[in-house]
């Protein structure tokens, strides 16, 4: 997320009681977890395995649990508990809001948009023109929705990411500092859930259509004019190109990229990146022509086995 106004590194120290290594007057302009960092962002690392990766990332400010010598171009914050310090900042920059009315007093709803009874719209939500929000749809705070969007009954937009820090005795929830951004002409099916970004935004591109009971994880970016059929699940931080079709019950792994004009057939599982412009099927998903050859070979196995036994 980008901050409304830059914050000095010295102010971060005051809030978190971290020990600073670097320029205390440097300006923090954003907060992000490591997968989405940009210059000016503050992030955290608490495992030695990822120190080098984080130090070489675009992040300018890093909270970590190891005292180090100054690193050129970086400002470091030492604390025994980097996750807690980062989480505190996330809550400070994007506080949880709990309105007492079904439509938040700071929500902005465009002309000719119709909101059915029992829908919930949180604070600082913006909804464009000519939209329809059906009964029992829930739109969490900070969500941004464009024009001509249809959200069907019982859809949930902007719920918390399924993102936890694991300790020996418990799990610690990461506060979501991102939001959901839905472009123009999108339709979202009944019972579909779209999680807010952990630090950046979860984005649904212009003209994309989501069927009923689809789940979109945190920080996912879906391009324009995509078709996502029922019971598809897309894990966090995955990027899907334009004009992609995912048929029913496709499962998509986290942190991967699916190229433009890709088709994935029903019940397939996608564990790795997919090159655009091709059709895929299977578990794990492979190009359809490869899958057809594999099936043909499998069908011949009984016959080949009989021949082998008679040798």
> How deeply is 132 buried, as exposed, middle or buried, from its count of CB atoms within 10 A (0-12, 13-18, 19+)?
middle
Expressed in percent and rounded to 5, the helix, strand and coil fractions of the chain are 15, 30, 50
Pairing of strands 27-31, 2-8: antiparallel
Catalytic residue among 134, 175, 215, 218: 218
CA–CA separation, 273 and 81 (whole Å)? 34
Q: Residue 270: beta bridge partners?
A: 252
The Cα–Cα gap between 71 and 254 comes to 31
Distance between CA atoms of residues 104 and 111, nearest Å: 17
CA–CA separation, 53 and 72 (whole Å): 15
Query: Hey, what are 220's tokens?
Result: 């996912």
CA distance 200 to 299: 47
In the annotation, is 152 catalytic?
no
Report how far residue 193's alpha carbon sits from residue 156's, in angstroms, rounded to the nearest whole number.
5
Buried b (16+ CB within 10 A) or exposed e, 171-198: eeebbbbbbbbbbbbbbbbbbbbbbbbb
Catalytic residues: 218
């Amino acid at each position: 997320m980008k901050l409304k106004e830059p914050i000095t590194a010295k102010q971060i120290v005051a809030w978190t009681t971290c020990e600073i290594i670097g320029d205390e007057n440097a300006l923090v302009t954003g907060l992000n977890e490591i997968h989405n960092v940009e210059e000016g962002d503050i992030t955290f690392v608490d495992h030695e395995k990822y120190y080098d990766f984080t130090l070489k990332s675009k992040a300018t400010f890093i909270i970590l649990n190891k005292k180090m010598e100054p690193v050129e171009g970086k400002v470091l914050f030492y604390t025994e508990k980097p996750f807690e310090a980062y989480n505190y900042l996330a809550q400070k920059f994007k506080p949880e809001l709990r309105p007492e009315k079904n439509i938040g007093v700071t929500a902005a709803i465009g002309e000719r948009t119709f909101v059915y009874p029992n829908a919930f719209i949180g604070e600082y939500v913006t909804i464009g023109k000519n939209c329809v929000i059906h009964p029992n749809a829930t739109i969490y705070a900070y969500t941004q929705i464009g024009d001509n969007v249809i959200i069907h009954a019982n859809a949930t937009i902007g719920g918390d990411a399924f993102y936890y820090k694991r300790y020996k005795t418990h799990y610690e929830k990461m506060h979501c500092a991102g939001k959901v951004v839905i472009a123009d002409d999108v339709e979202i099916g009944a019972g579909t859930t779209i999680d807010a970004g952990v630090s950046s935004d979860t984005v649904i591109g212009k003209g994309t259509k989501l069927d009923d009971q689809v789940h979109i994880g945190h920080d996912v970016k879906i391009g324009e004019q995509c078709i996502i059929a029922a019971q598809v699940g897309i894990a966090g931080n995955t990027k899907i190109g334009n004009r992609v079709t995912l048929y029913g019950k496709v499962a998509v792994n986290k942190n991967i990229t699916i190229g433009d004009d890709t088709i994935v057939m029903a019940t397939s599982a996608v564990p790795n990146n997919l090159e655009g412009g091709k059709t895929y099927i299977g578990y794990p998903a492979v190009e359809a022509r490869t899958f057809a050859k594999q099936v043909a070979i499998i069908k011949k196995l009984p016959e080949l086995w009989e021949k082998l036994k008679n040798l």
